[in-house]
Amino acid sequence: MLEISKLVVAYGQATILQGVEFQVRQGEVLALLGRNGAGKSTTLKTIMGLLRPVSGHISFAGQNIDGIDPFRIARLGIGYVPEERRIFNELTVMENLEIGRQQARNGHAWSEEELFEIFPNLGGMRARRGGAMSGGEQQMLTIARTLMGNPSLVLLDEPSEGLSPLIVEQMAEAIQILKRRGITVLLAEQNLHFTEYLADDAVIMEKGRIVWSGAMKSLMADATLQARYLAV
């Protein structure tokens, strides 16, 4: 569904991604793992069109998307949840969701009620202003708002970061539901254990390169590999 080849990305003179290559299959959850500064967020931003690659290609559902504007990429069906939560503090939960609304895709459009089944907390605070929500609730609202755009692929940048264990569990459950609904998920994470039961496959980045890729099960069985590339 998503194919990235020989991707090179720089911030000014500094080359950050040095030939990143991996694929995400339709319907899977792929974990993009790596320590601080490995290049995970840079990869997601480039897929979303927020950074222009120096060279390399990105194709989504058979169409070349590198160098295309972010809003066009969103319209093609890619949803992006950045590391920093971006909700509107002055707007209510319902109003924040409304802002994310886009046309249906493949005959389905997420309704607020369906989203509240996935994120029950949000359903209990429909009229609450974004600014009066906890970090975890804001994180869930950001994901729910992204789903209002009816994406077929969702890029999640460290959704478990800074959340309490209980909220992390709810987040994991929400991602499971997305997967069951047929949504493809690219999950950038430092937290290997968060991805353990969610991801089918994993790729590991270090210093802007993919250093390992394979089944999540193989990674979980390999303590040496984990110790070498991940903060565990």
Ligand X SMILES: Nc1ncnc2c1ncn2[C@@H]1O[C@H](COP(=O)(O)OP(=O)(O)OP(=O)(O)O)[C@@H](O)[C@H]1O
Question: Where do contacts with Mg ion occur on this chain (CB under 5 A)?
Answer: 40-41
Partner touching 77 among Mg ion, ligand X, none, CB below 5 to 8 Å by kind: none
Q: How far apart are CA 36 and CA 188, in angstroms?
A: 11
Quote the least distance from Cβ 84 to ligand X, whole Å: 10
Task: Supply the minimum distance, in Å, between the C-beta of residue 210 and Mg ion.
Answer: 16
Q: Which residue has the tokens 């996935």?
A: 118
Q: Which residues contact 159 (CB under 8 A, 6 or more apart)?
A: 81, 139, 143, 171, 175, 187, 189
Residue whose CB is less far from Mg ion, 32 or 148? 32
Tell me how far apart the alpha carbons of residues 218 and 201 are, in angstroms, rounded to a whole number: 9
Give 97 or 210: the residue with its C-beta nearer to Mg ion: 210
Task: Pick between residue 41 and residue 195 the one whose CB is nearest to Mg ion.
Answer: 41
195 binds, among Mg ion, ligand X, none (CB under 5 to 8 A by kind): none
Q: Kindly tell me which of 158 and 201 has the beta carbon lying closer to ligand X.
A: 158
Contact of residue 71 among Mg ion, ligand X, none (CB under 5-8 Å per partner type)? none
- Name the site residues for ligand X (rule: CB under 6 A): 11, 14, 16, 34, 36-42, 190
User: Which secondary structure element, helix H or strand E, spans residue 60, and what is its range?
Assistant: strand 55-60
Q: Taking the complex as a whole, how short is the minimal distance between the CB of residue 38 and ligand X, in angstroms?
A: 4
Taking CB within 5 to 8 Å according to partner kind, which of Mg ion, ligand X, none is near residue 11?
A: ligand X
Q: How far apart are CA 177 and CA 174, in angstroms?
A: 5
> Rounded to 10 degrees, what is the CA torsion of 80, 39, 159, 50?
-20
Element (H, E) at 141: helix 135-147
Rounded distance between C-alpha atoms, residue 3 and residue 98, angstroms: 31
Least separation in angstroms between residue 167's CB and ligand X is 19
**In the complex, minimum distance from the CB of residue 157 to Mg ion, in angstroms, rounded to a whole number:** 6
Q: Which lies closer to Mg ion via its Cβ, residue 41 or residue 96? A: 41
